[in-house]
Amino acid sequence: MNDSVIVIRYAELYLKGKNRSFFENLLIDNIKKSLVGIDCKLRFNRSRYEVYDYTEETKILDRLKKVFGIHSVSVALKCEADIDKICEIAKGTDFVGTFKVSTNRADKTFPMTSTEVSATVGGAILSAHPKLKVDVINPQNILNIDIREDGYAYIFKDKIPCSGGMPVGSSGKGLLLLSGGLDSPVAGYMMAKRGLRLDAVHFHSYPYTSEKAKQKVIDLAKILVPYTGPITLNCIPFTKIQEEIHRCCASNYMITIVRRFMMRIAEKVAQMSDCGCIVNGESLGQVASQTLQSITVTNDIIKSMPIFRPCIGMDKQEIVDIALKIGTYDTSVLPYEDCCTVFLPDSPVTKPTLLRAEKEEKRLGDFAGLIAEAIDNREILHIE
């Protein structure tokens, strides 16, 4: 046997105890879903998963890199764990310059130590390619040998890093407040990396904001899907609420009141969708609505679940770097304004108080009907 395979290694699942099989099965299911539409086969062994009988190597690698729970992948040749067969494959390497052989011997019954395997295979490579030189400190090339407990060995050059984290779905489901900016898609990505499956809610204020602004958010959700899995996007009509806030409340408190209404609606949608938390892209001190006082006043609304803010301690460049890595940056910076820019006051309050916020909201009278109407008229999109 001498097969070309793509070896998949998982990440934090090694740390799990008796319920490790739950995480493994979830990761396997997510891998299968990520490769739908590609002609290949999958094999799942102890701690090493394989893709085989494939042709579209680049496409497979690209998709696997986005599956949370995968630590790294390698394009490898697989053979029986026999030193002569391993040496024969190793002789076919196309190295130039210096090299070393690195061996992992998971099968401790194999009759040679890792050091002995590396030395023997290195000697075979030198005999076939006498111009090569061994450099065990700083080699230009590394040949990896992984001898497994099932009697087979993998021979490969590179370990391609993947997204790591936990399999999506292993930590429950949350509701992401998805605006058209840089921060919220990054927040969603980071929480999905911790195993959280995501639904999303987007507030739009047509005709003050354009249909292009809503389409921008849909496009961002599509970019996230290879990482997060399918997203149910709730598009909430927010125009009437904003008009009432603009008409009745003090202008400097408008952003604070708007954020509190968003949280009220988000909590109700989250409860309707069986979500256990709310996720947003707030970064401490970045804008007026993200000061310590503003976050405190906004937080007061939510009573039934936590609010996760994975970007809270990041500066803008750190957020930009992640947006570039995951592919959301170019869409996020398109110049289509979201509802947070509607009726924007010249001097928004940066240190609001809960007492004053509640006083301003009383000017709206019974606003439960406004919230119910917005939720009833939401557009639900399934992004896959």
pLDDT value for 92: 94
C-alpha of 10 from chain center: 15
- Provide the H-helix boundaries in the chain: 20-34, 57-64, 83-90, 114-128, 183-193, 211-228, 239-248, 254-272, 292-299, 316-326, 329-332, 354-362, 368-376
State which residues of the chain have pLDDT below 50: 1
Rounded CA separation 164/166 (Å): 7
* 232, β-bridge pairs: 382
Residue 46 pLDDT: 72
pLDDT score, position 47: 67
Q: By C-alpha distance, which of 285, 300, 306 is closest to 351?
A: 285
What pLDDT, in 10s, does the model give residues 254-285?
999 999 999 999 999 999 999 999 999 999 98
Please determine, looking at this structure, whether the domain spanning 2-161 carries the CATH number 3.40.605.10: no
pLDDT of 205 reads 85
**Can you tell me the distance from the alpha carbon of 34 to that of 312, in angstroms, rounded to the nearest whole number?**
30
Express each pLDDT in 337-355 by its tens digit: 766 666 677 788 999 999 9
Q: What is the CATH number of domain 173-383?
A: 3.40.50.620
pTM for the model stands at 0.92
pLDDT attached to residue 339: 64
Extents of the domains making up the chain:
2-161, 173-383
Whole-number pLDDT of residue 124: 97
Q: 148 in helix, strand or coil?
A: coil
